[in-house]
Amino acid sequence: MTVTDVSIIQPPLVQLNTPYPSGAYLRAFFSQLKKDYPQWAIGSVRWIDCSNALYRSIFSQAGLKKLFSSTEKKAMEKAFHYEKTGKENEAFNLRRYVSQQEQWIRWIPAITDILSGKGRELSHEFVRSPGVPRGYRMENYLAGLSSEPDADDALILASLALADLADYISVVYDSAFELIRYGESAAVSATSMEEIKAAMAAPIMNDFYTPLVQELIAGCDSRRRQLICVSCPFPGTVTAALLTCKLFKEAGMDKVFTVMGGGCVNTDLRDCKESLLAEWVDAFSFDRGYGSYWDFFRHIETLECSQCGTERVPLGIYKTN
């Protein structure tokens, strides 16, 4: 049989404190199938948390440089507009982001290290140094303290720093951006695939997420069949999940089979009959999903053993018993 590599992908954005667990269960399932059914020729099994990868791409020195360089002019124009309309606080905050951009770029590695439990030695400087950038959420927290801040406040301040940056991003770069469930309102309110397609072209999706998926595609062996399992637990992951499938289907590889599963697929997309989905998604995997993938490999085995002349799995919707 042709070797099948399995990629389990969690699109953004879900929880940032730890990987969303569904991928771990699927990886264990496929690894056990690989052991129990060697005749199915399951190759590599990889689990990729693209939610965390997107977060690290944006909140990095390179990511913030890209953001500030592309938004500085718009931020200043918005600040001027806010001033003319009496929104002095909003204008002040935007101007402060721009004036402190070098501090944000310098401190973002320390901020992410503190949140990852690695930056204890920087905690004192982060909460006390006048060279640390400040947003209004951070300032409000510091103003509410009854004593001088200490290293124990660093974790909260680092979380608020990301929230402050997210506010800036949503105002001047991508209005749908949130730290979790990116673009959820767009996905929930969309009445047509055209609206979803528009959301797929949003700045964060285009400038940050698409390059991440393209890196994954570049790492695939085009000589092997690629089973792409995309998790979609919440409405806020629909846009990125569909974009993931679309990019894989358009990558020019002959043997790519894309599957979407997860809570949102089980509920919001269960009765969806939008024909455009079939261009990007070969199958929905309902419920727990294990039976779907079992059927997939059994079907492949039947096709190849019967020497029917094709390895293509028909488009369809698989459902567990």
pLDDT at residue 262 is higher than 50: yes
Alpha-carbon torsion (91, 93, 97, 99), positive or negative: positive
Q: What is the pTM of this model?
A: 0.86
Better-scored residue on pLDDT, 166 or 311: 166
| Span of 50-64, 73-87, 266-280 with lowest mean pLDDT | 266-280
Domain boundaries, the chain: 4-52+190-305, 55-180
* Strand ranges (E), 12-51: 42-49
Highest mean pLDDT among 12-16, 72-76, 199-203: 72-76
Q: What is the mean pLDDT of the chain?
A: 86
Residues 6+ apart with CB under 8 A from 25: none
Highest mean pLDDT among 70-79, 194-203, 255-264: 70-79
Burial class (CB in 10 A: 0-12, 13-18, 19+), 308: exposed
Q: What is the pLDDT of residue 120?
A: 75
- Residue for token digits 């637990």? 233
Q: Phi/psi at 281 (nearest 5 deg)?
A: -115, 120
Q: Mean pLDDT across the stretch 304-313?
A: 50
Residues 6+ apart with CB under 8 A from 264: 232, 233, 234, 235, 237, 238
pLDDT tens digits, one per residue of 5-47: 999 999 987 766 667 788 889 999 999 999 999 999 999 999 9
Q: Mean pLDDT across the stretch 249-269?
A: 86
pLDDT tens digits, one per residue of 122-158: 888 899 888 999 999 999 999 999 888 888 899 999 9
Q: What is the pLDDT of residue 38?
A: 92
| Span of 17-31, 185-199, 224-238, 253-267 with lowest mean pLDDT | 185-199
pLDDT at residue 91 is higher than 90: yes
- pLDDT category at 195 given cuts 50, 70, 90 is confident
The helix (run of H) or strand (run of E) holding residue 304 is helix 290-305
Right CATH for 4-52+190-305 from 3.40.50.2300, 3.50.50.60, 3.40.50.1820, 1.10.760.10: 3.40.50.2300
Alpha-carbon torsion (299, 304, 307, 312), positive or negative: positive
